[in-house]
Amino acid sequence: MQDEIFNIQTEAEFTNAALQVFKHQFKKNRTYRSFCDLINVHHSDVKTVEEIPFLPIQFFKSHEIIASSDAIQETFTSSGTTGSTTSKHFITDLSWYTKSYLKGFQHFYGNIEDYAVLALLPNYLERKGSSLVFMVDDLITKSKNTESGFYLHNLDEITQKIEKLDKNGQKTLLIGVSFALLDLVEKQQFNLKNTIIMETGGMKGKRKELVRHELHKLLSEGFGVDKIHSEYGMTELLSQGYSNGNGVFDCPPWMRILTRDTEDALTINKPGKSGGINVIDLANYNSCSFIATQDLGKLNQNGTFEVIGRFDNSDIRGCNLMVL
C-alpha cells in the first residue's frame, strides 16, 4: 500500500486508497472497530470518503490504536501539561513516517539537501518520545549540511549561525516552537533574505498564548521577513500540513482535511463552513487514518485549510460517543 498511497495524483486515486485503508482498519484495529460498531457503521455501508467514521483523538490517550500485529518499533507521545494524560502513538513500521515527512517536505519545499536546517525546539528536546524531534533530526541528517543542528537555550550561538548562513546566501530553514522564536527576536533583531522561519505552534505554558496574526506580526518584524511559515502536525499523525504564510495550510496528496458540524460530530460540513477539524492521514495505515481532532478550522474550496482555534471541554458535542 505504501507505493499506492505515496504516489496518489488524482482525487479518484485518493478516494480509492482511503476506502481500502478504512476497510483494513475496520478489520484490524479493535478500538476503531468498536467505535464504528457503536455508531452502527459497517465497512460495507461506506461508499464515499465523507461516510467514513472519524475516531475522536482522545482515544489515543486511553486506548491502544493499532491496526497491525507487528512489533512496536517506536512510541511517540504528546507533550501534555503537568499531570495530564498524554497521547501515545504506537508505530509498528517507521518507514511510513520517514517516507511521509520526506516526501511531504519535498512536495512543498524541494530537495532537503538545498537547505541548512536549524531547530529551536527546547521543550521538545527536553523530553522523550517527540515525533517532531524525530522528524527534524532526520531532516538535519538528510540535509548533509555541517551547519545544520539543534539548539536548546543557546540563543547567542544560533543568532550568529543564522546571520552567517543568511549573509552567505545559504537557503536556511529555522524551525522553532513559538515561545523560543519570540525569545530569539526579543534578544536580537534580524533582516533575513535567505531564511524560512517556520513555527510549530504553542507557547507550552511559557508565555501568554497569542492569536496567529499577532504572533506572526511579531515574528515577521523580528526576523525581517515578509511571511512566517507554519507546520500543522501532531503526535497522532504521521503527515504534516504546511503554510507558507497567512495561516493557510495545504496537505500532501495522501492527506485531507474535512470539518465536522460542531453540534453533530457525525455530520461533515461543506467547504467554507467552520467546524471541528477531521484529518485523513493515509500514512497512518497501521494505526488510524481517520481522526477527529480538537482543533477548529475552515476548509476552503481549493482544499487548503485554516486553523482558527481549539474546542474546550464544554464545546465538545456527542461525548457519549467517545467512551468505549
Per-residue pLDDT, 118: 97
Tell me the pTM: 0.91
Q: What percent of the chain has pLDDT over 70?
A: 92
Per-residue pLDDT, 320: 35
Q: How confident is the model at residue 316 (pLDDT cuts 50, 70, 90)?
A: very low
pLDDT, one tens digit per residue, over 43-92 is 999 999 999 999 999 999 999 999 999 999 999 998 765 457 899 999 99
Q: Which residues pair with 280 in a beta bridge?
A: 256, 290
> With 80 as the cut, is the pLDDT of residue 129 above it?
yes
pLDDT, one tens digit per residue, over 135-150 is 999 999 999 999 999 9
> With 80 as the cut, is the pLDDT of residue 194 above it?
yes
pLDDT, one tens digit per residue, over 204-222 is 556 566 778 889 999 999 9
Per-residue pLDDT, 80: 65
Dist CA 294 CA 263 (whole Å): 14
What average pLDDT is seen over the chain?
A: 91
Q: How confident is the model at residue 173 (pLDDT cuts 50, 70, 90)?
A: very high
End-to-end CA distance of the chain: give it in Å, rounded: 30
Please count the residues of the chain.
Answer: 324
CA angle 274, 277, 282 (to 5 degrees): 140
Dist CA 280 CA 136 (whole Å): 22
Q: How confident is the model at residue 322 (pLDDT cuts 50, 70, 90)?
A: very low
Residue recorded with cell 491502544: 64
SS3 261: coil
Average pLDDT over residues 185-191: 95
Per-residue pLDDT, 83: 54
> With 90 as the cut, is the pLDDT of residue 31 above it?
yes
> With 90 as the cut, is the pLDDT of residue 319 above it?
no
Q: Got the DSSP string for 128-178? A: S--HHHHHHHHHHHHHT-TT-EEESS-HHHHHHHHHHHHHTT--EEEEE-H
Per-residue pLDDT, 250: 97
